[in-house]
Structure 1
């Protein structure tokens, strides 16, 4: 029979949310950096 799960604590929820946000932030930062290097023509790893 299905039993309801225990409630996740606020601290655990905050930690998971922060990690998720941080991952998105670093991905966005990398994308911005790559776009910047392509626009200036300094990119060594990306060929246009």
Structure 2
């Protein structure tokens, strides 16, 4: 028989939400940083064809 779960406390809910937002923030920051280094041509860790990038 199904038993209803106990309610999660507001503080626990906020902690989980904050962790989720922090992960999203750092992912976005890394993506922005990579895009910036690609656009300026300073990327050393990401392989791409520079000639194709300049043609278009």
Interval containing the TM-score (normalised by the shorter chain): over 0.9
Could you tell me which runs of 5 or more consecutive residues in structure 1 were left unpaired when the two chains were aligned.
Answer: none
- The within-5 A match list for 1:1-48 is 1-48=1-48
Could you tell me which runs of 5 or more consecutive residues in structure 2 were left unpaired when the two chains were aligned.
Answer: 49-56
How many residue pairs align between the two structures?
48
Point out which structure has higher relative CO (alpha carbons under 8 A, 6+ apart): 1
Q: Could you say which structure has the larger radius of gyration?
A: 2
SS across alignment from 1:32? helix
Measured after TM superposition, the shift of residue 28 of structure 1 is 0.2
Provide the C-alpha distance between the structure 2 equivalents of 1:47 and 1:17, rounded to a whole number of angstroms.
35
